[in-house]
Amino acid sequence: MRNLSLSQPSLRLLTGSSLLAFVSIVGCSSPSKPDGTTAASSSDSTAVAGSVTPANSPLQVVAEFREPQIVGVAVLPDGRVFGDFPRWDDNPVAPIAEIGKDGSVKPYPDATWCTWNETTRNEPQKHWICPQSVYADKTGMLWVLDPAAPGLKATVPGGPKLVKIDPKTNQVVLNISFPESVAPRKSYLNDVRIDTENKYAYITESGEGSLVVVDLKTSKARRLLPKHASMLADTTLNIKADGHEMINAAGKRARINADGIALSQDLQYLYWKPLTSYKLYRIKTDALRNAALSDAQLAQQIEDLGQVPACDGMEIDAANNLYLTAFEDHSIKRRTPAGKIETVVQDERLQWPDTFAFTADGTVYVTTSAIHKTPTWNKGVGRQDQPYRIFKMAMPK
């Protein structure tokens, strides 16, 4: 792992649709970034760029902060909010954090789990290395998926894991380690959905392109359909975000494999898509749970659902509409059960809308991760010109 300096989220919780001045919760100084530079403070002109709320936008700001970069969000039935801050360009103090109503950012489940440095390298299973997904299941349990690939590089041996936390006690109650046969060194476990009835977890893996299915009763995991066409990015596309071509410092265009994932309300279908692709796929979950089926047999059961917008996160509502974070045009879209694509909201503040969290009362939460403005896609120079945010809105009818 690279030597990274610690940084702490600068965060301000907001109420209603008010957008207040940004205040660092760690004092007047700005948080340090790995390269020794500092994130913009509230006095910087860039700190409030893009802060104007468009007319008629249903989006309300729940939280906003400068660095480190947020990816995921989870909301429990009691209203507790959690954020996921992966170790990509930053080394956050709280890679998994409980975001308090008073504006605090608390390492979760504790500071020890959030510590990753030379002194903890011999215990990769007991620390967040590069958590990518935080997810609340229907029973109110919290799950964290850690691909353990800091800087989006190779996995740390023994680090990839799926961890279940009981929020009532804030204690880890299940810790599933993935061997290299399931999470190879070039893998990147991306997102997870939990079937609480059949006791299974479904995971997309975007590094090489595959699905991972976990029997939560036995903690046994299987890697399925590796490098199948439905798992792979479309190499003919040149995906853009905010009009910005996704090309890295080496001149290579973004090629991101299986990423977005969603589980139907009746638990019968798993949906997924590669990020840099316009294709959507699904398969029956009972096929995925059948260990007797080969990859070739599984492939015959994959349904190609046609074109949808390029997106990062996906989720399904009670009416089986599939929601998509459409980063190319700052929008949230949904695909109806009939296959119609509808724009739910389009808002310039949706700078790479990333991950959803749906609550039982009909509220949609979504993060903005501004991935297209990170150093990786800007010749090593970060170009984030507004705070990262968590938004919420009422579920549209």
Q: Which residues of the chain have pLDDT under 70?
A: 1-51, 103
| pLDDT reported for residue 21 | 31
- Burial of 154-168, coded b for 16+ CB within 10 Å and e otherwise, reads bbbebbbbbbbbebe
Dihedral over alpha carbons 192, 240, 49, 378 (to 10 degrees): 90
Contact 115, 124 (CB under 8 A): no
Single-letter amino acid, residue 348: E
| pLDDT reported for residue 88 | 92
What are the sequence ranges of the domains in the chain? 6-394
| pLDDT reported for residue 51 | 57
Q: Which CATH number fits domain 6-394: 2.40.50.100, 3.40.50.620, 2.120.10.30, 3.40.50.720?
A: 2.120.10.30
| pLDDT reported for residue 103 | 64
Q: Using CA of residue 338, residue 269, residue 187, residue 110, what is the dihedral sign?
A: positive
What is the SS3 string spanning 328-381? HHCEEEEECCCCCEEEEEECCCCCCEEEEEECCCCEEEEEECCHHHCHHHCCCC
Single-letter amino acid, residue 113: W
Residue with tokens 């007797």: 292
pTM greater than the 0.85 cutoff: yes
Give the H or E element holding residue 190. strand 189-195
**pLDDT tens, position by position, 288-345:** 999 999 999 999 999 999 999 999 999 999 999 999 999 999 999 999 999 999 999 9
